[in-house]
Amino acid sequence: MKRPAKPLLQDNSLTAKSQPRRKRDPAQPSLPFDPMPDRVEPCLALLKSAPPVGPDWAYEVKWDGYRLATHIEPKGVRVVTRGGHDWTHRFPAISAAARELGGRNRNSGW
């Protein structure tokens, strides 16, 4: 027999809060505390006979090609394949454009 879960808080009027891992940077007050993970699983394309219909749907046609994730980090830019391979050197135009975004949006200095 499965026991019911206990509530996290004894007083339901309180909210559960964890302690931050480090102090928030005053120059970036809305930056989340948790660091970006090393890998984010990409969304995969699904084969369908027709695109979705209605105003709440968006879709894109999946042509042959690569599914890549671009990571803009303080230490630099990485272009990573779905399989986790670093292909930054294979996509210099994407890498350069991402560096421009990173330098413009962050005080990273690169």
Q: What is the pTM for the complete model shown? A: 0.51
> Which residues, other chains included, contact 77 with Cβ-Cβ below 8 Å and sequence gap of 6+?
70, 71, 88, 95, 98, 99, 102
pLDDT above 60: residue 78: yes
> Which residues, other chains included, contact 108 with Cβ-Cβ below 8 Å and sequence gap of 6+?
74, 102
Closest CA to 93 of 107, 82, 77: 77
Phi-psi group of 91: left, alpha or beta (phi > 0 → left; psi -120 to 50 → alpha; rest → beta): beta
Residue 9 and residue 13: Cα distance in Å, rounded? 9
Residue 28 and residue 15: Cα distance in Å, rounded? 24
- Least confident interval from 14-18, 31-35, 82-86: 14-18
Instruction: Determine which one of 17, 48, 62, 75 is catalytic.
Output: 62
Residue 23: active-site member:
no
pLDDT above 50: residue 110: no
